[in-house]
């Protein structure tokens, strides 16, 4: 199938993990909605055979909020890039988390604006180079999971394109969670990020992703010094808090149709 992604891009791996997770959740295809913003990763929506909504830059969660409130029985997965979600879409991101509306946000974090050719994003690590930070960015990056949690998100997980099985499981767990779920998927962009920062080719980038990651289960038995420079993966937090759409419908005394699957 023709697509716009460069060879070695992580977007395909993350998208495949999402599709397997949806399969695993056993939803009726007609109930599944893929919403996305604007960016390389967001083009995934156009490659999937569900109800697919490719929106405007940064606004995917706001479109999804309207759709979810109108049709609370639908299962929404919202694909965003790191810039899409945390820069231009930052406001919608924190407010979706605050409402605890049942949306599954999949943020493909490649640390860069891929589609526009490599400008820095709020998730570009300090010191890394971008076309708009040729000497390395002086800005500090967000910790996306902490940001979401601070805003009230009730499910936060991190995975990566180098460990697609784990990523798939994380998305499944996010789908099963009632409330706002965030899955941050670290993903290589060899073209707009890797090359400029001398991170090697796609294979090197995937290898590095894998080696620098440690699952939360394994991390708990480690000393803090041993975890330095490591990225923790897995479900980082999960709380049970009333979900917004369900609460709204309960408050107006209207029933939400029951649907199959997780």
Position 84 contacts ligand TPP (CB under 6 A): yes
Position 9 contacts ligand TPP (CB under 6 A): no
Site for ligand SF4 in 110-149 (CB under 6 A): 110, 114-115
CA–CA gap between residue 48 and residue 82 (Å, rounded): 21
Residue range at the interface with ligand TPP (CB under 6 A); choices 81-89, 168-176, 225-233, 248-256: 81-89
Q: Encoding tokens for residue 121?
A: 């994003």
Residue range at the interface with ligand TPP (CB under 6 A); choices 65-73, 112-120, 136-144, 196-204: 112-120
Site for another protein in 4-63 (CB under 8 A): 29-31, 33, 35, 45-46, 49-56, 59, 62-63
Position 65 contacts another protein (CB under 8 A): yes
Position 94 contacts ligand SF4 (CB under 6 A): no
**Are 186 and 108 in contact, with CB atoms under 8 Å apart?**
no
Instruction: Find, among 110, 38, 112, 121, the residue nearest to 79 by Cα.
Output: 38
HSE-up of 137 (CA within 13 Å, CB side)? 22
Site for another protein in 214-233 (CB under 8 A): none
- Phi and psi at 110, nearest 5°, equal -105, 15
User: Per-residue contact track with another protein, 75 to 94, x per CB under 8 A?
Assistant: ----------------xx--
Position 190 contacts ligand SF4 (CB under 6 A): yes
CA–CA gap between residue 135 and residue 133 (Å, rounded): 5
CA–CA gap between residue 77 and residue 248 (Å, rounded): 20
Position 40 contacts ligand SF4 (CB under 6 A): yes
67 Cα distance to chain centroid:
19
Name the 3-class secondary structure at 209: helix
Residues at the contact surface with ligand SF4, assessed by CB under 6 A: 5-6, 9, 11, 40, 110, 114-115, 189-192
């Amino acid at each position: 199938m023709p697509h716009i992604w460069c060879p070695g891009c992580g977007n395909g791996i993350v998208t495949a993990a999402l599709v397997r997770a949806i399969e695993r959740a056993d939803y009726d295809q007609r109930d599944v909605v893929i919403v996305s913003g604007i960016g390389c990763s967001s083009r995934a929506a156009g490659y999937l055979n569900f109800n697919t909504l490719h929106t405007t830059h940064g606004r995917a969660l706001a479109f999804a909020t309207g759709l979810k409130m109108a049709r609370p029985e639908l299962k929404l997965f919202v694909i965003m890039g790191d810039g899409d979600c945390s820069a231009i879409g930052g406001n919608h991101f924190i407010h979706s988390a605050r409402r605890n509306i049942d949306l599954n946000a999949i943020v493909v974090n490649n640390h860069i604006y891929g589609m526009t050719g490599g400008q820095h994003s709020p998730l570009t690590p300090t010191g890394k180079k971008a076309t708009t930070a040729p000497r390395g960015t002086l800005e500090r990056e967000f910790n996306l999971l902490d940001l979401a949690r601070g805003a009230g998100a009730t499910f936060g997980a991190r995975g990566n394109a180098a460990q697609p099985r784990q990523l798939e499981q994380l998305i499944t767990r996010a789908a099963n969670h009632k409330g706002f779920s965030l899955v941050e998927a670290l993903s290589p962009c060899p073209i707009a990020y890797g090359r400029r920062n001398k991170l090697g080719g796609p294979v090197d980038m995937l290898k590095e992703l894998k080696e620098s990651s440690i699952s939360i289960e394994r991390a708990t038995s480690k000393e803090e010094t041993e975890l330095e420079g490591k990225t923790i993966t897995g479900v980082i937090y999960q709380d049970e808090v009333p979900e917004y759409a369900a609460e709204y419908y309960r408050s107006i005394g209207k029933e939400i149709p029951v649907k199959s699957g997780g």
